[in-house]
Copies of this chain bind each other. A is one copy, B any other.
Amino acid sequence: MIEQRDGRAGRRPTMVDVARLAGVSLKTVSRVVNGEPHVQPAMAGRVLAAVAELGFQRNHMASALRAGRASATIGLLIEELANPFYATIAAVTAELARERDTLLLSASSEEDPAREEQLLRDLCSRRVDGLLVVPAGCDHSFLGAQVEMGIAVVFLDRPGTNIDADAVLLDNRGGARSGVRRLVEQGHRRIGVLLDSVEVHTMRERLAGARDALADAGIGHDGSLVRDGVRDPATAAAAVAGMLAEPHPPTAFLTLNNRITVGAVQQLWRQGSDAALVGFDDFELSHLMPRPLTVIAYDTRELARRAARLLFARIDGDRSPPQTVILPTELLDRGLR
């Protein structure tokens, strides 16, 4: 008469159910399911038949809980899963994880520090084996305790703050420097720089690299050619148009991420400007842009691979001091104009 759980078929079978059906003890089922030795083939057969008949599937949570074992899950906290850069990171991480029979819990911070912290805590409460974090917040000290308690943490793309942990980064400063150096070599003196936000670590580094190159060349830089807060292609286009309309317009632009690059290219092309352009970040169809593009490129997959490998090494017990890995960038010159 009594139907279980809102009228649906039924309770999930447990090892107890399997044991009862097979007429063996609970522990024997456990042994068979986990492929432990010392079970007679005939008995194992009975157990497997019962498993199949009931559609039994081991409860991973109970198993991990009892065994005090790792959850075979890692957490990935990024800014925005839909962004190709982060999507690539997620894909590489998921693949390396799968090779270890580990699954990936991914979450997006949307650049909100509070949200980041909440998601990280949530991931920790699920007892992930490790965390791969592209930090948005400005204080990761609360992760320190988690590290103490056995959750490995590796930062990716940007270093963590107030915490001594591994980080795998790009040579943002060096990349921007080499890009501007190239422009200077080509004779440019007035170089407009467009960036997302100085709040972001990578942007600060890239801007510093640009300034390095100008200083190297003895070119003064009063900041009037820098535009901050350029968050999307449309804003980038407007910024380019605005700068070109000024009395002493730049003869070249450095765009500090690919969204900005796309907007800038479009605007330059639209107005038929022959200003030079170097963009940070390569992107999928960059070679099909209306004008050839020079970009500061890097290997996103390698970035993720290094970070994931480091994380797994930590999970496997590597206790060497935290390290910071910096990956090189490459100037891909597809013709400046």
Any chain B CB within 8 A of the CB of A6?
Answer: yes
Any chain B CB within 8 A of the CB of A215?
Answer: no
Cα A70 to Cα B177 with chains together (Å): 52
Any chain B CB within 8 A of the CB of A252?
Answer: no
Q: Look across to chain B and name the residue whose beta carbon is closest to the beta carbon of A108.
A: B94
Cα A253 to Cα B100 with chains together (Å): 44
Any chain B CB within 8 A of the CB of A251?
Answer: no
Any chain B CB within 8 A of the CB of A9?
Answer: yes
> Are A149 and B9 interface neighbours, CB within 8 A?
yes
> Are A12 and B150 interface neighbours, CB within 8 A?
yes
Any chain B CB within 8 A of the CB of A145?
Answer: yes
Please give the count of copies of this chain that the complex contains: 2
Any chain B CB within 8 A of the CB of A235?
Answer: no
- Tell me the residues in window 96-144 of chain A with beta carbons closer than 8 Å to chain B beta carbons: 98, 101, 103-108, 119, 121-127
Cα A317 to Cα B8 with chains together (Å): 10
Any chain B CB within 8 A of the CB of A328?
Answer: no
Residues of B within 8 A of A59 (CB): 65, 125, 127
- Tell me the residues in window 69-116 of chain A with beta carbons closer than 8 Å to chain B beta carbons: 71, 73, 80-84, 86-88, 90-92, 94-95, 98, 101, 103-108
With A60-B127, A65-B65, A81-B90 as contacts: A55 and B149 at CB distance below 8 Å: yes
Q: Look across to chain B and name the residue whose beta carbon is closest to the beta carbon of A12.
A: B149
Cα A151 to Cα B9 with chains together (Å): 12
> Are B82 and A91 interface neighbours, CB within 8 A?
yes
Cα A103 to Cα B125 with chains together (Å): 12
Any chain B CB within 8 A of the CB of A148?
Answer: yes
Chain A 260-283 per-residue mask, 1 if CB under 8 angstroms from chain B, else 0: 001001100000000000000001
Residues of B within 8 A of A7 (CB): 319
> Are B61 and A71 interface neighbours, CB within 8 A?
yes
Contact of A94 among B12, B81, B148, B149 (CB under 8 A): B81
> Are B73 and A80 interface neighbours, CB within 8 A?
no
Cα A59 to Cα B122 with chains together (Å): 10
Residues of B within 8 A of A108 (CB): 91, 94-95, 98
Cα A284 to Cα B84 with chains together (Å): 11
Q: Look across to chain B and name the residue whose beta carbon is closest to the beta carbon of A283.
A: B285
Contact of A55 among B98, B103, B145 (CB under 8 A): B145
Any chain B CB within 8 A of the CB of A186?
Answer: no
> Are A317 and B6 interface neighbours, CB within 8 A?
yes
Any chain B CB within 8 A of the CB of A334?
Answer: no
Cα A82 to Cα B150 with chains together (Å): 30
Residues of B within 8 A of A283 (CB): 285
Contact of A290 among B57, B80, B107, B290 (CB under 8 A): B290
Residues of B within 8 A of A11 (CB): 149
Residues of B within 8 A of A62 (CB): 65
Chain A 1-39 per-residue mask, 1 if CB under 8 angstroms from chain B, else 0: 000011111111000000000000000000000000000
With A65-B62, A104-B105, A127-B60 as contacts: A81 and B73 at CB distance below 8 Å: no
The list of the 7 closest CB pairs from A to B, nearest first, reads A87-B87, A82-B91, A81-B91, A55-B145, A9-B148, A61-B61, A60-B125
